[in-house]
Amino acid sequence: MKHLISLFDITAEEIESIFTISAKLKKELKEGKTHHILQGKTLGMIFSKSSTRTRVSFEVGMYQLGGHSLFLNSNDIQLGRGETIYDTAQVLSRYINGIMIRTFKHSDVEDLARFGTIPVINGLTDLMHPCQILADLFTILEVKGRLKGLKMAYVGDGNNVANSLLHGCAKVGMDICIATPEGYGCDEGIIEEARSDAKKTGCKLVLTEDPVEAATGADVIYTDTWVSMGQEAEKEIRTKTFMPYQVNKKLFSHAGNNAMFLHCLPAYRGMEVSEDIIDGPDSAVFEEAENRLHVQKAIMAMLMQKL
Ligand code: CP
Ligand code: NVA
């Protein structure tokens, strides 16, 4: 594993290793054990979009591993004034040991990895959010003790989170049913990639417009905002279109016994999820958010320790 850009590019064994290291680092953090795994190493964090969890968990994670992080708002560096990805990648590779980037165009992240000589971590693009889904799957593993054979239901917008969820579930062999309104489905290329992995792992991959079909018998119900970063102008039409896809008590009643609720956050109560679900006993959203820290520490250790 050289980079973490798409979950399709990594193996199920690598995901297993990430989870083993995450569990160890989580336990050791709670026990007060300190680490120097990334001592002397610097992570550059380029942000072209807002963030709470990604920014704070990567920065704190780097600190906890003995390393250092640099917050680079893309508007403050020359990238925002037209310096090329090629030059940025070449220059940063000479100063720092890894790059985490959150941006719009997925191909910019791929280019950064192609043109530089250091590991690149995708902290969200318009197309994918792989670190989030690794933390989600780790959370499910902690609660349920397994992933294979469980059913994931994603209800809402076929966005970056849904795309990476398709990749991730297919990779680890978890059944997945995604319910989206017509015209708001997942990326076609990602569906194809996920189908090829699902064939190998033997899991079911279903795409539907019916939220009840997705929720029925599910072990996990997952949703995300209807208005992703960059789509603010479409808020009104999206809110109207997605209302029948709200995860609420009625929809949740179709899920299996002990089903859990996940949301990558930030959440909009009364929109994609009702308050009684996200703040109710089946919700694991804050454990999920915490796990971003542990899982990303494992990813950074695996990618940057080798340098
Ligand atoms: N889930 C997530 O990526 O949150 P932030 O946008 O706050 O980083
Ligand atoms: N789909 C959301 C996820 C935020 C973490 C967005 O891209 O804004």
pLDDT of 110 higher than 90: yes
Q: Which amino acid is at 280?
A: G
Residue 155: CB within 6 Å of ligand 1? no
> What is the pLDDT confidence band of residue 306, given thresholds at 50, 70 and 90?
low
Model pLDDT, residue 73: 97
Known catalytic residues are 102, 129, 132, 224, 264, 292
Domains 7-129+289-304 and 132-286 share a fold: yes
Model pLDDT, residue 307: 37
Sheet order of strands, 120-122 included: 68-73, 42-47, 98-102, 120-122
Closest by Cα among 201, 159, 153, 171 to 4? 171
Q: Which residues line ligand 2 (CB under 6 A)?
A: 124, 159-161, 224-225, 228-229, 264
Residue 53: CB within 6 Å of ligand 1? yes
Q: Which of 228, 262, 285, 292 to mutate to test the pocket of ligand 2 (most atoms within 8 A of CB)?
A: 228
Tens-digit pLDDT profile for residues 150-205: 999 999 999 999 999 999 999 999 999 999 999 999 999 999 999 999 999 999 99
Ligand 1: which residue has its CA nearest to atom 4? 53
Residue 265: CB within 6 Å of ligand 1? yes
What's the rounded mean pLDDT across residues 78-102?
97
Tens-digit pLDDT profile for residues 10-52: 999 999 999 999 999 999 999 999 999 999 999 999 999 999 9
The answer to whether the beta carbons of residues 129 and 154 sit under 8 Å apart is no
Ligand 2: which residue has its CA nearest to atom 6? 228
Ligand 1 atom closest to the Cα of residue 264 is: 1
Ligand 2 atom closest to the Cα of residue 231 is: 8
Question: What mean pLDDT value characterizes the chain?
Answer: 98
Ligand 2 atom closest to the Cα of residue 126 is: 7
Q: How far is CA 118 from CA 76, 99, 300, in A?
A: 22, 7, 12
Fold of 7-129+289-304: Rossmann fold (3.40.50)
Q: How far apart are CA 193 and CA 199, in angstroms?
A: 10
Ligand 2: which residue has its CA nearest to atom 3? 228
- Identify the bridge partners of residue 207 per DSSP, sorted by sequence position: 178
Residue 54: CB within 6 Å of ligand 1? yes
Hey, where are the domains in the chain? 7-129+289-304, 132-286
Check the CA dihedral 56-10-201-15 and report its sign. Answer: negative
Tens-digit pLDDT profile for residues 234-259: 999 999 999 999 999 999 999 999 99
DSSP state, residue 180: -
User: Whole-structure pTM over 0.85, yes or no?
Assistant: yes
Q: Is 44 helix (H, G, I), strand (E, B) or coil?
A: strand
Model pLDDT, residue 62: 98
What's the rounded mean pLDDT across residues 67-83?
96
Ligand 2 atom closest to the Cα of residue 51 is: 5
CA end-to-end distance (rounded Å), the chain: 12
Closest by Cα among 68, 134, 128, 83 to 101? 128
User: From ligand 2's centre to the CA of 265, what distance in Å?
Assistant: 8
Model pLDDT, residue 285: 98
Tens-digit pLDDT profile for residues 134-151: 999 999 999 999 999 999
What's the rounded mean pLDDT across residues 294-306?
94
Q: Which of 161, 265, 292 to mutate to test the pocket of ligand 1 (most atoms within 8 A of CB)?
A: 265
Top CATH class, 132-286: alpha beta
